[in-house]
Amino acid sequence: AIYPTGITPKSLKPPEQKVYDLIVKRFLATFGDWAMRETITVAIAVKDEIFIAKGTTTKERGWHVLYEPYVNLKEEELPPLAAGDEIVIKKITLLKKETQPPKRYTESSLVKELEKRGLGTKSTRAAIIETLFQRGYVAEKSLQATKLGIRIVTVLSKYSPEIIDEQLTKRFDEDMELIIEDKKKEEEILDGAKDVLTGILTKFRKQEKSIGAELREAWQETQDKQNTLGDCPICKKGKLVIKKGKYGLFIACNQYPECTTTFKLPQNGLVKPADAVCEACSTPMILVVRKKKRPEKLCINPACPTKKLTTEEKKEVKAAADKPCPKCGTGTLVLRTSVYGSFLGCSNYPKCRHTEQLNG
C-alpha cells in the first residue's frame, strides 16, 4: 500500500503534484464516514410492454467529501412517483441497436476476474499474467490470445482437460489458504495434491507425443511472429529476427548466409519487438522489460545518430585507451557499443565481462 508520510513535499512538478494529491485524498477517504446512495427503480407499463427507469442520488456524502474531485458519480433523480401513478408519455423513440461483444480483458481487468473466480492469490495473480506473456499465450495491452494460446487450450481440452480445469486450480488455492490459516495440516494437503497430480500427469505422458505434434506448428508460428522485428536495413530482402546463440540472444537477418547482418541484444531482461522503427535511422526498435524498471524502447543500431559520442565522452575514451582492466588485469579497456549506446569494456570479453559507463 502507498500512503503519505505527513512530510509535505516542497517542489513537485504538476503531474507529480496530481499524483501526490490523489494518494493523500485516497488515504484520508479510507478513514471517512460511510457514503449512502439511493437507487430507485420504476417499472412503467405501456400497454403490454414494461419499461424500466432508474435513478440514483447521494443521500449522505461521507467519504466523498474527502475524495473530491476524484469521486465521479452521476446524480440521476427521478420525479416523485408512487405505485399506481399514471404518467404522460411525451415522446417515443425507436432505437435500432445490436448487442456488443464483451470487451477484451486488460491486465487489470483480468486480475479482477481471477479474484472474482477465486483463482490465484493476491501475490500470484500478477505473476500468472506475466507468465502468459512470457510463454507467448497472450499479446497486446488489450489482451489477445495468440494462436499458440488458443491451440494450447484446444489440445489440452482434447487430451487432458483436468489440467485446464479452473475448479482444480481453485481447489489448490483454497487448500493453500487452509494451510496458512492453520485449519489443515500441510502434509494432508500435499498428499492429496500429489495423488491428484500423479493421476493427471500419468494420463498426460501417455499422450505426450500426440500433444507435442499438435502444438509444434502453432508454437513455431507464434515464436516467429514474436521474434520478428521488421525488414533488414542492409539487404532489404530479409527480416530481422531474434535468435539464441552461444552467448545469448542476438538479432540476425533470416537470409543468412546471403546476408550476415547481426545486432547485439541486452542479456538481462525480456526482449521483444517494439513494432516501431527509430526516427533517427529507420532501424527496427526493441522493447526491453526488466523487473522493477520501466520498459525501455531502444534502437538496435549501435551506429544510430542518437548514440553518437559527446565531446566529453570522446575525451574519456581517449584517456582510457590501453588502460588495464581493473577486474582481470590482463585485458585493456576498449570502446564498445550496444543497444544502450557506447561504453568501456574489457578486451578479454567474453572471458572478462567488466564494463564502465561513460560519464561525459
Band the pLDDT of 234: cuts 50, 70, 90. confident
Q: How confident is the model at residue 293 (pLDDT cuts 50, 70, 90)?
A: confident
**What percent of the chain has a predicted confidence (pLDDT) above 90?**
23
Percentage of the chain beyond pLDDT 70 is: 99
Report whether pLDDT(25) > 90: yes
Whole-prediction pTM: 0.53
Cβ burial of 339 (10 Å; 0-12, 13-18, 19+) is buried
Section 208-219 average pLDDT = 86
Cβ atoms of 253 and 307 within 8 Å: the answer is no
Would the pLDDT of 339 be above 80?
no
Q: Tell me: pLDDT of 236 over 90.
A: no
Confidence of residue 182 (pLDDT cuts 50, 70, 90): confident
Answer yes or no: are the C-beta atoms of 78 and 55 closer than 8 Å.
yes
**How far out from the chain centre does Cα 355 lie?**
31
At residue 1, the pLDDT reads 66
For residue 224, what pLDDT band results from cuts at 50, 70 and 90? confident
How far is it, in rounded angstroms, from Cα 270 to Cα 320? 32
Angle at 194 between CA 193 and CA 197, to 5 degrees: 85
Q: Where are the domains of the chain?
A: 1-85, 107-219, 232-305, 309-356
Is residue 349 scored above 70 in pLDDT? yes
Q: What's the CATH fold of domain 107-219?
A: Topoisomerase I; domain 2 (1.10.460)
Question: Is the Cβ–Cβ distance between 297 and 277 less than 8 Å?
Answer: no
Give me the residue label for grid cell 420525479. Answer: 79
Name the pLDDT band for 91 (thresholds 50, 70, 90): confident
Mean per-residue pLDDT, 320-342: 84
Residue 248 clears pLDDT 60, i.e. is over it = yes
The pLDDT of residue 360: 52
CB burial readout 56-88, b (16+ within 10 A) else e: eeeeebbbbebbeeeeeeeeeeeeeeeeeeeee
Which contacts of 274-282 are long-range, i.e. CB under 8 A and separated by 24 or more positions? 274/298, 277/230, 278/304, 278/306, 280/304, 280/305, 280/306, 281/305, 281/306, 282/233
Residue 291 has pLDDT above 70, yes or no: yes
Question: What pLDDT score was predicted for residue 198?
Answer: 92
Residue 32 gets which letter from DSSP?
Answer: S
